[in-house]
Structure 1
Amino acid sequence: MDRERFAKYIQENLGEKYIEIATARIDHFENYLKSIGKSLPTLDNKDILKYTRQLGMSNDQLFGVYNILYNFGLFAKNGEILVGCMLVYDGSEILQNLYERLEKEFGCELRDTIFDGIELPPIDLDQKLKPQYMKKIVPRLLDQLGQKKTEDFLAIGLHDRYEQLRQPDRTLFLDCTTLEEFLERRYENLINDMKKHRDEGTPWFVSYIDDEILDFYAQNPDLYRGHIENNTIVIKKGPYDTKGFINATTREEKRRSICHCPFVRESLIEAAQPIDPVFCNCSAGFEKAYWEIIFATSPIQVEVKASILRGDDFCEFAVHIPEAIMHSHYI
């Protein structure tokens, strides 16, 4: 590690007060890699999880460690560090948000019934273990709330809203005359972002972009772009792991590569369907938050049109366009 350059990077991106703790953390991390016979060029993303699990820290402390590791991955242009961090960040807030929303909306007694015998896990929980939580929680939600209330509860979303991250798309929307123009320019930005990752050799989600992946999206222009249909925007989501989808040899492997939900994904290669499709309303809630930020209005209604848990080959959502947007960005 070039300590001087890294210290400057931390000062510019996290602040001067983090320089000492960040450099000490990366020194510790590199020493750990040496102890297992690895180095920065030879590590893989699983080594990130192995490293943090042996630290014995609380979730709040682990978030600090992962923030430093992620910034170091950006600084060092090390894709495996970035993927390891992404696998932890992805959905790490869901169970905590679920726990707090149940208390806020239904009270402590129902919350405790839903979480009876379930402790909030560490954020670096093994991906293969995450579905075990929803296998227990979703049936309890349905038992206590019923189908409709469970759908409505989940459709609000369990993710954080990522307001700051979504502001560039809000700015783009304001710069567009029509909704169709926004969808097209947003998609162009997505493809250009993929090309940038390809050229820099950095991961996009958990896939390293190459020409094969770009060709895949060129041949499937309906993925991610969205189209307007009966006063709705229909969004068909592309794979979470695009390279895994392209290389998959079974339908189960393809479905796992498609699914974006860390609390469902690894269960999709099991023989039995272990999680009720009602949980896919949480993904509708993820879309709902995005479009509420883009349109600067709420509530936005989003419905699940197709999902992997329902047995479909892709996940698809219908975003109902508010009347005011239909007038201001004519269709």
Structure 2
Amino acid sequence: DEFIKLKKQEFVEQAQKHQKEGTLLYAQYVDDEVVEYIKNSPTITPGIRKGDKIIATKTPYQIKKFLNVKDERMKRYYSCYCAWVRGAIKNCTEKEISPNFCYCSTGFTKKYWDIIFDQPIKIEPLETPLTGALECKFAIHIPKEFQK
């Protein structure tokens, strides 16, 4: 739990540093709105612990556009990292893609936690732009020996 708090604070500080220096974070400029969104979204990087899981939400792919657009379809579009899913959302054909497709995206988060826990962990998508949610949210299963 302390590790998660530390990593969240580091991410907020990283965003603030990019804002102050006018440099890019995930290929995007950071302003007050982005920093506040990161600060006030508890599940965004690295997530929060709920029982035997860590619930984590990915930072939206194009965060400024995500924050500013009002249309929910486009908000989902700007949230998603996957070009295939973004295309399907834009063309209103996302129902043609299996929700299992988003297990591909879990791999990026899984690798990080596999290293932290020094073992393969289970991770599953809870909700994604493909399934109608505004953001990608994952459940990271904490190995038993770390569930203290």
TM-score computed with the length of structure 1 as normaliser: 0.42
Aligned length, in residue pairs = 147
2:111 to 272, 286, 289: 289
| One-letter code aligned to 2:103 | N
SS in 1 for 2:103: helix
Q: Which one has more relative contact order, counting CA pairs under 8 Å at least 6 apart? A: 2
Which runs of no fewer than 5 residues in structure 1 stay unpaired?
1-179
Question: Distance in 2 between the 1:288 and 1:213 partners?
Answer: 25
Superposition CA RMSD, Å: 1.6
User: Contact conserved, 1:235 with 1:318, CA < 8 A, in 2?
Assistant: yes
Q: Which of the two has greater strand per residue?
A: 2
User: Contact conserved, 1:206 with 1:240, CA < 8 A, in 2?
Assistant: no
1:263 to 77, 81, 84: 84
2:128 to 289, 294, 307: 307
Q: Which of the two has greater helix per residue?
A: 1
- State which structure, 1 or 2, has the greater radius of gyration over its C-alpha atoms: 1
Residues 1:323 and 2:144 aligned together: yes
SS in 2 for 1:233: strand
Partner of 1:205: 26
SS in 1 for 2:70: coil
User: Contact conserved, 1:240 with 1:260, CA < 8 A, in 2?
Assistant: yes
2:62 to 229, 238, 241: 241
Shift of 1:311: 1.4
Residues 1:195 and 2:22 aligned together: no
Question: Distance in 2 between the 1:237 and 1:226 partners?
Answer: 9
Partner of 2:102: 280
Q: Deviations over 1:139-159 (max 9, x none)?
A: xxxxxxxxxxxxxxxxxxxxx
Question: Distance in 2 between the 1:302 and 1:249 partners?
Answer: 31
User: Contact conserved, 2:73 with 2:90, CA < 8 A, in 1?
Assistant: yes
Q: Deviations over 1:81-118 (max 9, x none)?
A: xxxxxxxxxxxxxxxxxxxxxxxxxxxxxxxxxxxxxx
